[in-house]
Amino acid sequence: MPRPIQALVHSAALAHNLALAAQHAPDSRVWAVVKANAYGHGLERCFAGLQRADGFALLDLEEAQRLRALDWRGPILLLEGCFEPRDLELCSRLNLWHVVHTAEQIDWMAAHKTQMPHRVFLKMNSGMNRLGFSEARLRSAWARLNALPQVKEISLMTHFSDADGPRGIAHQVQAFARATEDLPGERSLANSAAVLRHTALAGIAADWVRAGIMLYGSAPDAPAGSVHTWGLQPTMTLCSRLISVQQLQPGDTVGYGSTYTASQAQRIGIVACGYADGYPRHAPSGTPVLVDGVRCALVGRVSMDMVAVDLSPVPQAGPGSEATLWGHGPHGTALPIDDVAQAAGTVGYELMCALSTRVPVAVAD
Ligand SMILES: *Cc1c(COP(=O)(O)O)cnc(C)c1O
């Protein structure tokens, strides 16, 4: 029998979350952001659930090739553009749209031989200070691109640093609007947090929104917002089983470093899931885990292949009982990935992306 750990990707939930993104941005087309192998879910596994997207946005050319191999004929956008000149050949061959965020990328375009002019997304740095042209340099970049026979259409984009937090997006929207005022072309600004929290501010959704994390059933603004606030459904379940039960006496400790000490007699269950499966090693005692659908608390340090769980809330549990690390549990229960992320001091994004290749994954409904 294989080790009992398994991950499930929920196709119907992906479709639900995508429809929700479209509802929040009714006048925009929706890029399904599927970078990092669809946020750890697997591009191929997500494709059916996300195929109503207007386009797919990602970073790796290899992932773009995989999407074309799935027979996706619609738009694909490379969010970081090309990494070297010869990447442009693949863009021509696979009809990939690509971001242009440096002067070098414009030089490469100018030297590129192609029968098929490209559609590019010119990126402005409106305050994130990661990628893109400053307000002062945007216009000359646009003019250079516009003069190239290799370019057929220029769209404009920027990325928000604080769409999920108190600072908000107004300062960046203003900078972008000012810099692009009289430039033609489609616009793309909003990530998930902006789609959910700010699209009501008319105009910012623009022609394309770029929905990532919300598609995967994690609230971009957790813990202020939650999957319940936004009506998102979990798209990834990580589940396993108890493979051992121990009876502790007061003073007994659990796991490496003896970081947990029982203060009373207590049953604990050992779950076949550890950090080598992608479970966060920094999850402290108290991190929620469902056992037979009942919310329990992790105790002691996460090891490579196992975690321990206090079984006090579920006395009938024993070896073979189902453990849900995140996602859907038995009997209609659920444990939001954001609850686990918050306990472990990280975000849902990191947990789903870290799912290890040793975990078998199945697509469920
Ligand atoms: C990852 C990414 C997104 C999606 O962000 P989410 O917070 O996951 O919605 C949008 N735009 C760009 C440029 C990105 O890199």
- Per the CB < 8 A criterion, the answer to whether 222 and 338 are in contact is yes
**pLDDT tens across 4-33, in order?**
999 999 999 999 999 999 999 999 999 999
- Mean pLDDT for the chain overall: 96
Other beta carbons within 10 Å of 203: 11
Whether 35 sits among the annotated catalytic residues: the reply is yes
Which numbered atom of ligand 1 lies nearest the CA of 349? Answer: 8
User: Quick check: CB of 212 below 6 Å from ligand 1?
Assistant: yes
200 pLDDT above the threshold of 90: no
List the domain boundaries for the chain.
11-218, 236-364
Q: How far apart are CA 251 and CA 230, in angstroms?
A: 43
Whether 256 sits among the annotated catalytic residues: the reply is yes
CATH dotted code for 236-364: 2.40.37.10
Domains 11-218 and 236-364 share a fold: no
CA distances from 170 to 161, 175, 200, 294, 327 (A): 11, 9, 13, 43, 34
Task: Report CA(212)–ligand 1 centroid distance (Å).
Answer: 5
Q: What's the CATH superfamily of 11-218?
A: Alanine racemase (3.20.20.10)
pTM of the model: 0.96
pLDDT of residue 131: 97
Q: Find out whether the peptide bond into 313 is cis, omega within 30 degrees of 0.
A: no
Task: Report CA(162)–ligand 1 centroid distance (Å).
Answer: 12
Mean pLDDT in residue range 94-112: 98
Cβ-proximal residues to 129 (8 Å cutoff; 6+ apart), any chain: none
Task: Give the residue carrying structure tokens 């779950």.
Answer: 271
Task: Report CA(251)–ligand 1 centroid distance (Å).
Answer: 47
CA distances from 25 to 48, 179, 214, 231, 255 (A): 22, 23, 13, 15, 48
**pLDDT tens across 305-320, in order?**
999 999 999 999 999 9
266 pLDDT above the threshold of 90: yes
Task: Give the residue carrying structure tokens 């990325």.
Answer: 159
pLDDT of residue 317: 98
pLDDT of residue 206: 86
Per-residue pLDDT band at 97 (split at 50, 70, 90): very high
CA-proximal residue: ligand 1, atom 4 (nearest): 212
Mean pLDDT in residue range 288-301: 98
299 pLDDT above the threshold of 90: yes
